[in-house]
């Protein structure tokens, strides 16, 4: 029987949030979030094709449940500067600690040393985390359809609008797309990775794209390792790509970004 990574991660996240509330209350976060006036430009960066016809969200990813440690000595500030010089459209930062070795501090560091919009990539299961995301400087957050009820997803998208955060809603199946659409999602992240088994297939994004409406923007994520992968997915009409592991493993992330864009 395959291990259900997603169930395990969510159970741990529920406990994490419970512990966090003992130190900082949701009301305190909520009041602080209201004072943050920065408006996100994440959606604006992705709504139309950019450099050489595509946009790349470059990810800071130290580890994963399927691959273990990807880069032990990852310097967040250095990689953020690599990504900016390589002309990434935005930066994604993993903030889950137990399974991805990320942290809220990583996001703050990235935010502090780049002008690019920052996506907080975590397993959001509580409005507490959304207020926290605004407070720490995120421009956008990831909402995963498979770990939220329909009501939660709709409420969390509404809260993002209220806080001037962009919501990237992650889907994997036709059913996920239907739920995301009913909740009002504009940015749809199509995950090529099955979050239960962590198996990857880049055909997933190509197969899911026709299910999206014309006013929804697609982002292909996971398993994208080279220019050939990008060209294959781009031929279907997708022009946004979230790329992490292959960038983090590369010897020169800035140059590798240019290779991915097809300009080097």
Q: Which among 263, 203, 191 has a CA at the least distance from the CA of 235?
A: 203
* Averaged pLDDT score across all residues of the chain: 95
Give SS3 for 90.
Answer: strand
Query: Which region among 63-67, 98-102, 175-179, 189-193 has the lowest average model confidence (pLDDT)?
Result: 63-67
Q: Quick: pLDDT tens for 76-123.
A: 999 999 999 999 999 999 999 999 999 999 999 999 999 999 999 999
Give the number of other Cβ atoms within 10 Å of residue 178's Cβ: 14
Sorted by sequence, the CB contacts under 8 Å of residue 219 that are 6+ apart come out as 46, 57, 168, 187, 188, 189, 190, 238, 240, 241, 242
Residue 197 has a pLDDT of 73
196 confidence band (pLDDT: 50, 70, 90):
confident
All structural domains of the chain: 5-261 (3.20.20.70)
Residue 3 has a pLDDT of 60
Report the C-alpha gap between 189 and 24 in whole angstroms: 31
Report the C-alpha gap between 72 and 175 in whole angstroms: 37
Instruction: Quickly tell me which residue has 């983090």 as its tokens.
Output: 248
Residue 66 has a pLDDT of 82
């Amino acid at each position: 029987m395959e291990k259900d990574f997603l169930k395990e991660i969510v159970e741990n996240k529920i406990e994490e949030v419970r512990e966090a509330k003992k130190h900082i209350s949701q009301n305190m976060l909520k009041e602080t979030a209201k004072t943050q006036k920065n408006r996100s430009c994440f959606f604006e960066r992705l709504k139309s094709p950019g450099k050489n016809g595509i946009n790349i969200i470059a990810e800071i990813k130290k580890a994963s449940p399927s691959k273990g440690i990807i880069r032990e000595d990852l310097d967040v500030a250095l990689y953020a500067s690599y990504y900016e010089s390589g002309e990434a459209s935005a930066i994604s930062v993993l903030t889950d600690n137990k399974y991805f070795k990320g942290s809220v501090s990583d996001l703050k560091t990235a935010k502090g040393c780049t002008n690019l919009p920052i996506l907080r990539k975590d397993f959001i299961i509580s409005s507490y985390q959304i207020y926290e995301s605004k407070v720490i400087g995120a421009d956008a957050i990831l909402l995963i359809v498979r770990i939220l009820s329909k009501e939660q997803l709709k409420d969390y998208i509404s809260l993002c609008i209220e806080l001037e955060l962009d919501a990237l809603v992650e889907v994997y199946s036709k059913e996920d797309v239907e739920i995301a659409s009913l909740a009002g999602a504009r940015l749809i992240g199509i995950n090529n990775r099955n979050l239960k088994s962590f198996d990857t297939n880049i055909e997933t994004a190509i197969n899911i794209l026709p299910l999206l409406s014309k006013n929804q923007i697609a982002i292909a994520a996971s398993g994208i390792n080279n220019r050939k992968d990008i060209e294959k997915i781009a031929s279907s009409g997708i022009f946004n790509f979230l790329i992490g592991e292959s960038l983090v493993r590369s010897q020169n992330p800035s140059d590798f970004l240019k290779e991915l864009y097809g300009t080097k």
